[in-house]
Structure 1
Amino acid sequence: MKALSFYQPIAWMLAHGHFVVDDRTWIPYYRGPIAIHASKTGLEEYILYCRHIAGVDVPDMADLERGGIVGIGELVDVLQPGDSGGFPIEKRAYSGPGHYGLVFANVRPIEFIPCRGKPGLFDLDFDPQTYQAPKVVDPQGSLFD
């Protein structure tokens, strides 16, 4: 599955369906299933944007998971710069004029899966829909017990 990294709280907003469009300076030619990756970087000031412009009570930065997959969905379209696609500003992670709007659908949050992100679209070496965390084994006792 392909994945795309987002700063928090944008990843959280997308995974929970509050945003349906994310603005980028580049056009991905891929359409299809996609994992929402929350990068380790967070934008504290963007929480204010989400709370006041989008009207969503976003968790505080300390409570947002970072450094892994937080949701899955589909990348269904890319809007040309200046095209709103009929989406109101409060449904868009707005970056300003001149950006392409990546349109997402059928996005849902999933249980956090730690993994490294990469710039641009990247391939995951696991399927987040069937992922199972490794089982924790009882720690080995001391050799001298």
Structure 2
Amino acid sequence: MVQLRTLSTRPPESLRELLRTIASEGAPAARELAGSFLAMEGSEEYRSMLSSAEKATRLWSSASPAGEISTTSTFQLAELVSEVSTIYLMVDEEQLTVDAGFLRVMVGCVIDALTRGKHLPRPKHEVLLLLDEAAALGSLEPLERGVV
């Protein structure tokens, strides 16, 4: 998310050059997407998408707490399935509303990792996911369906 924010808040010429590079050298899906962004450049839709990306990733600014703790990591979420691990995501009760976006992304990433790992050999200990104040996360469809 920090990387997305960094890329989407580049100055216009720098973003344009990045999109051109991706459109000519990226993987096929990335080339297609970059090409469509370049084709929209200057349109109201393009400006709206950049504005939405800026607002949605504000929490992940490199100077913010979420940006600082997620810039680098030695931990892989897949380890939750392959070995005994513990993760604590703790937010002051007064900050729940402010940090709900961060929590949604992190819990969503954990759920995705657990879902991807469900076809791996069963670990010695089952994964236990405890969520207190889950209502603060808002609607998370995988949780509602009980996917994991």
Q: TM-score range by the shorter chain?
A: under 0.3
TM, length-normalised to structure 1: 0.21
TM, length-normalised to structure 2: 0.20
Select the structure with the greater relative contact order (CA < 8 A; seq sep ≥ 6).
1
Q: Which has the higher strand share?
A: 1
